[in-house]
Structure 1
Amino acid sequence: MTRKFFGTDGIRGRTNEAPMTAEMAQRVGQAAGAHFLRGDHRHRVVIGKDTRLSGYMMESAMISGFTSVGMDVVMVGPVPTPAVAMLARSMRADLGVMISASHNPYIDNGIKLFGPDGYKLSDEDELEIEALIERGPKLVPPAEIGRARKIEDARGRYIHFAKSTFPEEHSLDGMKIVVDCANGAAYQVAPSALWELGAEVVSIGVSPNGLNINEGCGSTAPQALQQRVVEEGADIGIALDGDADRLIVVDEKGKVVDGDQLMALIALSWARRGLLRGGAVVATVMSNLGLERHLEANGVGLVRAKVGDRYVLEEMRRGGYNVGGEQSGHIILTDHATTGDGLVAALQVLAELVETGKPASELLHQFDPLPQLLKNVRFGGGQPLENIGVKDAIADAEAQLAGKGRLVIRKSGTEPLIRVMAEGEDPALVEQMVDQICEAVKAA
C-alpha cells in the first residue's frame, strides 16, 4: 500500500503549503498520539526541533494535537534529531518527534517520528497513522487533556551521551577542529562537546536566525568550511546538516571526505578491534563501487539497501550489523544510537585520528572511488520511469555499462525528482549514459 503523506524520512514539504501546514501538524499530533495510546500509564511524547522560523508554529500545532488526545508533551527545544531519539528512550516516552526538514532550506519543514525504542517508525505504523489523519481520532474529555512542559537540560543530556561514545583513554587535547553546524540544531551542542573533550574549537554556522539554516553552510555546502580549515591551519573540519544526523568531513588540506570514506574508516577500525558485527557494512545502492571493493579486499562485506537511512537501518537490524550509512553522510552506529548521528560519527573519526597520529588527509583517504556522476531531473507529474523512451534509454545504458560499472535510477522520496546515477571505470561513458537517460526523462 502506498503512503500518502510519509516519504522516506517522515513528512516533508514547503511550509504553509499542503501537507506542511499547521493544520496538518495538529492532525499528525492527534493521529500519532492516538496510535501510541497503549496501556493504562500516563502517555508522553518528546518534541524537538531545529532552528527554522516555522518550527515554533509547527511545534505549537503538534502540542495542541497531542494534548487533545490525552498525551503529555515534553518540549526539548532545538536539539539534533538523534538527541530526540535518545531522549525518547531515556525518558520512557511513548513517542519522539523531530520537527525538521534536515538539509533543506528554511522554507521547508518536516516531521520525523520515533517509537518508544528510539527507532523511526515502520511502514505499517506510518500507514496506520495516515488512516487516523484522514478519518480523525477520538478526542478525550476535558479532564483527560494532556499537559505540556519544557525541560531546560536536554542539550546537556545529549552532550553527555555523545561524549560517552568517545574512548575514555583518549582526549582531543592539542587538536584544532573547525565545526560547521549549518546554523541548525547542533549549533550549541557540537562545539560544546568537542571543547569539553579538549579540542581547540573554531565554530561556524552557529548563528541561527530562523532563515539561514543550511544557507551556504553545513554538510551540503562545505566550501566555507574548506576555506576556514586551511586558513586556521586546523587538523580537521566537521560539517553537520540542519538537524545534525549527517556528517561530512574536510581534511587539513581542505579536501571534502564523503560518507563512503568515513564508513570504510570506521568499519575497518572496528573490525581490527573485534567490534564489527555481522562481518559487513550496510550502505545504499548509491555508495561507490570503490567502497565495496576496498571493504572486500580487507575481509569485510558490503550489503546494499534502498536509498534512505530508514532502509539502511532496517537491513542492519535484520542482519545484526552495527555499521551502516549513506554516501551523503548519514552514518548509523547502532552500538551507540538508533538513528544517524553526525556528532557521534565524527567522534569515531576523531578517535581514530588520535589513535593513529596520522594526518586527516592520509587517514581519511581509504580508497580511490570510481568515477561517479549523479544528476537530478525535476518532473511535474506522472510516472516518467514508466515511459517507453526512458525504459529504452535505461536498457541501452545498462548494456553499455555491463561489467564496467553500475547504474541507479530512482524517484526521490522527498522531492519531485528523478535521480540518475552511473559509475564506472570510463568517466566519459559514465557522463554519456547519465546525459542520455536525463534527456529521455525530460522528453517524457
Structure 2
Amino acid sequence: MNIAEMVEALTVAPLPLRISAFDGSATGPDDSPFRLDVANEQGLAYIATAPGDLGLARAYITGGLEISGEHPAHPYRMFDILQQLYKAVRRPDAATVVTLLRSLRRYNALKIQPIPEVEQTSRWRKALVEGLSRHSKERDKESVSSHYDVGNNFYELVLGDSMTYTCAYYPSADTSLEDAQDNKHRLVFEKLHLKEGDRLLDVGCGWGQMVMYAARRGVKSLGVTLSQQQYEWARAAIAEEGLEGLAEVRCLDYRDVKEEDFDAVSAIGILEHIGRDNYENFFTQIYSKLKPGGRMLNHCITYPDNRFRKTGSFIDRYIFPDGELAGSGTIISTMQDAGFEVLHEENLRYDYQRTLHDWCENLKAHWDQATTLVGEPIAKLWGLYMAGSEWGFEHNIVQLHQVLGIKLLDDGSRGDIPRRFWWQP
C-alpha cells in the first residue's frame, strides 16, 4: 500500500479534503481548498506511533505534516474539516491491519521518533521519574513557567496593548480587543463592588492588568504570579505608571500570601492550573483571606457538564501541563461548601471565542516577527492551539464562567452589598 491507499483503507469516502504524501500518492477531492500533506517519513511515523491529537501535533510543528488553505497562525476552518475526517474513519478488518502494518514498516513509520523539543514531560513521567507530586508548589511553578515564560515580546504581539491573557468582554460587534479587555476588568471590578480605599488580592495576576486597573481607582491591590517574566513585566509597568503606592505584584504561590482581611479576591484564569482535587483547599484558603462581607470572583474555563475527564495529551504536553477543567456546577458547589454564598454566575463562552479570534489575527499580522522571536515550531503551536480553542468555544466543547461569591457577616447578612445586581452588564 502507498500512503494514499492506507488513508482510503481507514476511511469511508468521500473525504472532506485532499490528502497527499511524500511518496507521490494522493486521495480526496482534487479541487478542495484544504489540503494535508504528509511531508516526510518522520511525519508519518509521528502520526502512526501516537494516533490522535498528539501525533498530529508532533508532525505539524516539526514540519512533517503541512496544512494548505489557511494561514498557520489561524487554521480555524481546518478544525471543521478534521472533525469530518474523524467521522469518516472506520475500523479495518484483521487482514487490512496486517497489510497496514507491513506498509508502515516499509516506510520506517513504526519507529519511535524523538519527542519535539517544545513538548513537555507527560504527567506520569513527571511523577515516576522526576518525583514531583502533582500540584506541589515546585511542579506548579514549573508548569506555569513552561507556558507563560515563552517571552514577553511574543505575548505582546499576540495579546496586543491590553497584555491580558484571559477572556475579554465585548459590549458590541465593533469593540476592539483592547477595549474589550478593559471592559472585562471593569466588569470584574464592579462585580466585586470595589471602591476607593478597599484592598484587592488578585491570584494568578498575569502581567498585572487587573491589579493596575483597580489601583488607578484607588484600590490597594496585590497580585501574585508564578511566572518570573510576568512579574518583571508587571513590576516595570506599575513603576512606569507611578502606581507603586497602590499596586504590587509578587512572584509568589498564592498559598504563600500572608496578608488577610482583603475586601475582595479576583481569580481570573488560575483555577485551570489548580487541579480538581485541590478545589476545596483553594476556595477554603481564598475564603480565609477575606474579611466578613468580602467578595470573590472566579473566572475560568469550564466544561459544559460536570463529568470528570482529563485534558488530552496535546493540551497536557504542549499547552497547559497538569491543567484540569471542571463544570461550573462543580465550581459553584465547591465554593458553597467553602462557605461562600454564590450571588451570580454567567457563561461568557462566545466572548472567549471572539477573544481567541482576535489573538489569532494578531499572531497572523505579526507572523514574521513571531517566528523570529520564538521559532516557527512554537509559533505554529500557538496558532494551532488558539484556533482550536476558538473552535471549541464556538461549538460548546468548553465554556467560560464567572462566579461571584460573598463571605457573609456573622449575622448572615451581606453588609453593604445591594439586594440586586449593581454592575453594568
Q: Same fold (TM over 0.5)?
A: no
Which structure shows the bigger proportion of residues in strand conformation?
1
TM-score under structure 1 length normalisation: 0.30
Which structure shows the bigger proportion of residues in helix conformation?
2
TM-score under structure 2 length normalisation: 0.31
Question: Which structure would you say has the larger RCO, counting Cα contacts within 8 Å and 6 or more residues apart?
Answer: 2
Larger radius of gyration: 2
